[in-house]
Amino acid sequence: MAKLTGKVAVVTGASKGIGAGIAKELAAQGASVVVNYASSKEGAEKVVAEITKAGGKAIAVGGSVAKAGDIEKLFAETKKAYGKVDILVNNAGVYAFAPLEAITEEEIDRIFDTNVKGLLLATKAGVALFPPEGGSVINIGSVASEQTPPMSGVYSGTKGAVDAITRVFAKELGPKKIRVNAVNPGPVVTEGFKSSGVEGSDFEKSMLQGTPLGRLGQPDDVATVVAFLASDDARWVTGSLLQAAGGLR
Ligand SMILES: NC(=O)c1ccc[n+]([C@@H]2O[C@H](COP(=O)([O-])OP(=O)(O)OC[C@H]3O[C@@H](n4cnc5c(N)ncnc54)[C@H](OP(=O)(O)O)[C@@H]3O)[C@@H](O)[C@H]2O)c1
């Protein structure tokens, strides 16, 4: 039997990139998956179609995690469709790089609202639907929180917060048998990675040079690590920040 049979997983920001890879992997392992998206309905429906074609179960549910009302609707839809949540993957995230003098209040709000406020509120709403047997929350952080490259003040700030929040909730939710871990990727080739201007830049070159495994990541390199943390194989793992970064630090 597949490792996640009978489980319900919500993956935020799963219409493309790493989130889409995670949704497909969790479905392939037997979970029923809620594929959340903010604006790309078409992308999310494509992910659902791929999952169902392969014999899995999934639905697409729109809603921005940056908006508390949308989060409520996302989990109300989830409850209606599947009745519970066993696995929550807080993947939705935005990133942009700029020097200190170019940082604006609008950019700080935009990036923190999705990467931090959204993660906090989605965790609150998701965990409320976990069964008494507990479950698994997986936050997608970034090696940026440790690597702290220049020009990433806002983004690395959000991912440092994700590391801290992961450790706090691991302690707080452990007594409810809910494990909370983070997967912190290095550079992964996604739609967001391409549109952020990192692809082909000196920044990409320097990250590649610092990556012992000598290549950029693909969404499935991260997805299989998430599936491990979601499964009972990781039953004794909580509060961990697991780097999936080809060794980049
Ligand atoms: N790619 C990398 O190199 C890399 C490295 C380290 C960490 N990460 C982290 O991995 C995660 C995914 O990154 P990615 O590269 O796959 O990004 P991506 O290709 O830009 O995809 C982002 C996904 O998140 C969704 N999203 C954005 N804002 C949202 C919101 N407010 N509410 C709900 N969904 C939202 C997007 O939905 P729509 O398309 O519908 O707007 C899309 O599905 C992020 O947390 C990022 O920080 C990425």
Could you report the per-residue pLDDT of 140-155, keeping only the tens digit for each?
999 999 999 999 999 9
Low-confidence ranges of the chain (pLDDT < 70): none
Give domain 8-242's CATH number out of 3.40.50.720, 3.30.470.20, 3.40.50.2020, 3.40.50.12160. Answer: 3.40.50.720
State which ligand 1 atom lies nearest to the alpha carbon of 15: 43
Active-site residue, 155 included: yes
Enumerate the β-bridge partners of residue 182.
139, 241
| pLDDT value, residue 1 | 76
| pLDDT value, residue 149 | 95
**What's the distance, CA 158 to chain centroid?**
13
Q: Does residue 231 line the site of ligand 1, with CB under 6 A?
A: no
User: Mind listing the pLDDT tens digit for each residue in 45-65?
Assistant: 999 999 999 999 999 999 999
| pLDDT value, residue 225 | 98
- Ligand 1, atom 44, lies closest to the CA of 93
State which ligand 1 atom lies nearest to the alpha carbon of 64: 32
Q: Does residue 21 line the site of ligand 1, with CB under 6 A?
A: no
pTM for this structure? 0.99
The domain locations on the chain are 8-242
- Ligand 1, atom 18, lies closest to the CA of 192
State which ligand 1 atom lies nearest to the alpha carbon of 144: 6
CA of 84 to the centre of ligand 1 (A): 24
CA of 43 to the centre of ligand 1 (A): 13
Q: Does residue 193 line the site of ligand 1, with CB under 6 A?
A: yes
CA of 1 to the centre of ligand 1 (A): 31
Burial of residue 214, with CB atoms counted within 10 A of its CB: 0-12 exposed, 13-18 middle, 19 or more buried: exposed
